Chain A
Amino acid sequence: MATEAPTSGEYIVHHLTHMNSTGHKQAAVIDWSVWNLDTLFFSILLGVVTLFFLIRAANKATSGVPGRFQAAVEILFEMVADQAKGIVHSAESRKFVAPVALTVFVWIFLMNSMDFLPVDLLPRIWAAITGDSHAYLRVVPTADLNGTLGMSIGVLLICLYYNVKIKGFSGWVHELFTAPFGGHPLLYPVNFLMQMIEFLAKTISHGMRLFGNMYAGELIFMLIALLGGTATVFGFLGHIVAGSIWAVFHILIVALQAFIFMMLTLVYIGQAHESH
């Protein structure tokens, strides 16, 4: 518990600081020796929850009349399988790609859903456990650029793998230099540059899109909490009204962003299968 009330700025900055392996805010923009323990904890925890539910559903899956839980998982499964079938045309690739899409969707959905917990709930509990009122904790792994870029780079690696697998290494290199503008030697550098920009843009935008949405959503929850923190009638009512509206709207964002991430995963992998 804070002994003295923090200012608005301090409150926001505190909430946006990760609990990392150094114990204080990361100084450099990029520092590969630092680990964000909170992001890791919650993403792995939710990954385990994801797998727990999916494996439970998979083990209970029968060809008989499905129960509600099984039916729900099957609806999800069919949705992902249909999308995968429409975008990735190789049945062999789908054996891996479709499960990736399902995992990504459920996992990201759960990680995004951490936003629905009151912004102060877990940080306060953590502060009480550690006894340190300034203990940092961020509970939404997808509001951490490391989390989302980690996944989008994973998708990039899968794309590179399928590029080589489908077209052969020489075929892919050939494509890198001859597409999209044509096979003239003068165009080789332009093509290659274009391809590199494309891969970079795809991956960065893939991760940034999810991160940006969840980061902004989290920030707005904090601002709404600050409104309530003014401890006035206006602030209290404002907190309730704005908090409710934003939470309801955020349900859409949570599901939509998980869906978009999954769809883009499929689209990018599908593109890796197509020759220019």
Chain B
Amino acid sequence: MNLNATLIAQLVVFFILAWVTMKFVWPPIVKALDERAKKIADGLAAADKAKADLSHAEKKVVEELRKARESAGDVRASAEKQAAKFLDDARAEAARIVALAREAAQGEAAVAAQRAKETLRDQVANLAVAGAERILRREINAQVHADLLANLKQELQ
């Protein structure tokens, strides 16, 4: 337990070691640890952001789906409406055509009936003339009695 010059030497060694540690040991470790802390913080922030993005995207997807469903419903409704309108139009057109055809047929039928009546009238007149000829047993001058015959035809109408 004696004191000697070792004490001074130890004092110097102490400062040399402390200086070297301060210069070459402490700063790199501080740097590495700070960098890692920053990395971890960044990583956590990125994870949080990703999570937020994901939930945002999910919300957006739900929204888009809802919109798509809505617009699909709209499209279907309008298509149905249009189809119904087409159907109605077609029905109306068909009814119109049918009515026209019926009218035309009726007109034609009326003309034909008129013509048949006239023909019949002519034939009846001729028959009446022929009958009268036979009755009178003599020829009637057609020209002389044309007026008479026309009147007769008129009456038969």
Contacts and interface: CB of A to CB of B under 8 A. Distances in A.
B110 to A, nearest CB: 107
A145 interface: yes
B21 interface: yes
A151 B14 contact: yes
A173 interface: no
Given A32-B5, A150-B11, A95 B17 contact: no
A235 interface: no
B2 A29 contact: yes
A67 to B, nearest CB: 12
A257 B25 CA distance: 23
Contacts of B29: 57-58, 61, 73-74, 77
Contacts of A139: none
B4 interface: yes
A107 interface: yes
Given A40-B9, A64-B36, A146 B17 contact: no
B32 A63 contact: yes
Nearest to B24: A55
Interface residues of A, number: 54
A61 B32 CA distance: 6
B74 to A, nearest CB: 56
Contact of A20 (B4, B14, B21, B38): B4
A57 to B, nearest CB: 7
Given A33-B5, A43-B13, A153-B11, A77 B24 contact: no
Given A58-B29, A63-B36, A153 B7 contact: yes
Given A29-B2, A55-B25, A64-B36, A146 B7 contact: yes
A151 to B, nearest CB: 5
Contacts of A64: 36
Nearest to B33: A74
Looking at chain B's contact residues, the main secondary structure is helix
A153 B7 CA distance: 9
A99 interface: yes
A44 interface: yes
Interface in A33-64: 33-36, 39-40, 43-44, 47, 50-51, 54-55, 57-59, 61-64
A154 B15 contact: yes
A103 interface: yes
Contact of A146 (B6, B15, B26): B6
A145 B5 CA distance: 11
Interface string B25-53: 11111111101101100000000000000
B136 interface: no
13 contacts: A34-B2, A35-B5, A36-B4, A47-B16, A51-B25, A58-B26, A58-B29, A63-B36, A99-B18, A103-B18, A103-B20, A150-B9, A151-B14
Interface of B: 1-11, 13-18, 20-22, 24-33, 35-36, 38-39
